[in-house]
């Protein structure tokens, strides 16, 4: 009987030990799960914090860059106007210019405005063509050579500085019902020389093309023909004496095409992209639009090497007043 009791007790002990072992394993497993979950949650929180910090840093950096750019632009403008205030009111001397006929309007407006501000300075301008203007400044017979093009490497090698003071942009316009939205430079040239006479030949409707342009002697006409290399080759149906007249004619004539300065565009006409580039200020400043060119006031040597009166001319053009003058004659300012 005693032996039987001992056996039963031993069996009970073994069962209890087994149960204790199972409980221990279960408890360990349950305890590990919350710990693992907490670690995962902590890692996720840390990742989120890092990403947020990175995003915030990027935003701060972008804002700082934009602010720096704006501040730089403002500083340059303030610097230009501060320099203008340093030009003595009793400034005296002479400034002679010669060159591009396309720059006549700008040169005359500049001379008139500058002499009104500084009566002691005499500014003269002759319009002999870009090449002649560069030759004159190279020879030292004028202070400034006006050129409606970039300087050549040979001209720069001769010590001539290319000072771009404005950009000229010309928009090609058609009547609003015209189906054509774009032309290549070659197609445009062919239209103006009379080789292409129907819109159907350039992707439009079967309709005669009415070629409208400016009168002989117009700076806009000269620029347009020079840029397309079709000087003295154009077959105009109408030669009009003002930008407004060109706009009105194109707007009211089915099938008409014309060219005007960018600053006069309105919704009475439709602009045409050239070589897949729209005529916008941004595209012109980027140099991607074909019908644009620089207006250069070239000097022999750097501006800083010129006379006080010549330096003052360039300071004036860089000021807000000078930029307003550039825009008033239908040109684009240089930033």
Above 70 in pLDDT, residue 14? no
* Residue 164 CB contacts under 8 Å (≥ 6 apart), including other chains: 294, 295, 296, 334
At 3 the pLDDT is: 42
* Nearest by Cα to 174 from 246, 241, 265, 271: 271
Distance CA 199, CA 105 (A): 34
Cα 109 → chain centroid: 25
Angle between helices 320-328 and 104-117 (to 10 degrees): 140
Above 80 in pLDDT, residue 12? no
pLDDT, tens digit (0-9, with 9 covering 90-100), for 88-134: 999 999 999 999 888 898 999 999 999 999 999 999 999 988 899 99
* Nearest by Cα to 99 from 139, 142, 163, 140: 142
Chain length of the chain? 335
For 267, other C-beta atoms within 10 Å of its C-beta total: 7
At 46 the pLDDT is: 53
* Average pLDDT of the segment spanning 319-329: 93
**124: β partners:** 96
3-state SS string for 147-166: ECCCCCHHHHHCCEECCEEE
Above 90 in pLDDT, residue 18? no
Tokens of 30: 């349950």
Could you give the domains of the chain? 93-167+294-328 (3.40.190.10), 168-286 (3.40.190.10)
Distance CA 279, CA 271 (A): 8
Q: Are strands 182-183 and 273-274 parallel, antiparallel or unpaired?
A: parallel
* Average pLDDT of the segment spanning 27-33: 39
* Average pLDDT of the segment spanning 245-266: 94
Tokens of 82: 């501060």
Query: Which pTM does this prediction carry?
Result: 0.65
Distance CA 182, CA 100 (A): 30
Work out the mean pLDDT of the chain and round it to a whole number: 83
pLDDT, tens digit (0-9, with 9 covering 90-100), for 140-155: 999 999 998 889 999 9
Distance CA 272, CA 173 (A): 6
For 308, other C-beta atoms within 10 Å of its C-beta total: 12
In terms of DSSP H, where are the helices of 158-254? 185-192, 219-228, 243-252
* Nearest by Cα to 123 from 112, 132, 134, 133: 112
- Under the banding of pLDDT at 50, 70 and 90, the label for residue 29 is very low
pLDDT, tens digit (0-9, with 9 covering 90-100), for 210-236: 999 999 878 788 889 989 999 999 999
Q: Are 322 and 316 in contact (CB under 8 A)?
A: yes
């Amino acid at each position: 009987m005693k032996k039987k009791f001992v056996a039963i007790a031993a069996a009970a002990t073994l069962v209890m030990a087994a149960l204790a072992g199972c409980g221990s394993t279960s408890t360990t497993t349950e305890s590990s799960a919350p710990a693992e979950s907490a670690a995962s949650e902590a890692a996720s929180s840390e990742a989120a914090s890092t990403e947020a910090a990175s995003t915030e840093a990027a935003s701060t950096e972008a804002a700082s860059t934009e602010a720096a750019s704006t501040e730089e632009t403002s500083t340059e403008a303030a610097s230009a106007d501060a320099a203008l205030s340093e030009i003595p009111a009793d400034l005296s001397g002479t400034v002679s210019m010669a060159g591009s006929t396309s720059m006549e309007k700008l040169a005359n407006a500049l001379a008139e405005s500058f002499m009104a501000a500084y009566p002691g300075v005499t500014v003269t301008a002759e319009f002999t063509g870009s090449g002649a203007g560069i030759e004159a400044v190279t020879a030292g017979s004028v202070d400034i050579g006006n050129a409606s093009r970039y300087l050549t490497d040979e001209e720069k090698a001769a010590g001539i500085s290319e000072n771009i003071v404005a950009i000229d942009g010309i928009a090609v316009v058609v009547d609003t019902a015209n189906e054509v939205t774009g032309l290549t430079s070659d197609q445009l040239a062919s239209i103006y020389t009379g080789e292409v006479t129907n819109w159907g030949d350039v992707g439009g409707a079967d309709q005669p093309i009415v070629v409208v342009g400016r009168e002989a002697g117009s700076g806009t006409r000269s620029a347009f023909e020079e840029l397309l290399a079709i000087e003295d080759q154009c077959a105009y149906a109408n030669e009009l004496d003002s930008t407004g007249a060109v706009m009105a004619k194109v707007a009211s004539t089915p099938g008409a095409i014309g060219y005007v300065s960018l600053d006069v565009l309105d919704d009475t006409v439709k602009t045409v992209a050239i070589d897949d580039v729209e005529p916008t200020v941004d595209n012109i400043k980027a140099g991607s639009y074909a019908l644009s060119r620089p207006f250069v006031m070239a000097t022999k040597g750097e501006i800083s090497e010129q006379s006080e009166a010549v330096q003052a001319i360039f300071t004036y053009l860089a000021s807000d007043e000078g930029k307003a003058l550039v825009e008033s004659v239908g040109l684009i300012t240089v930033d």
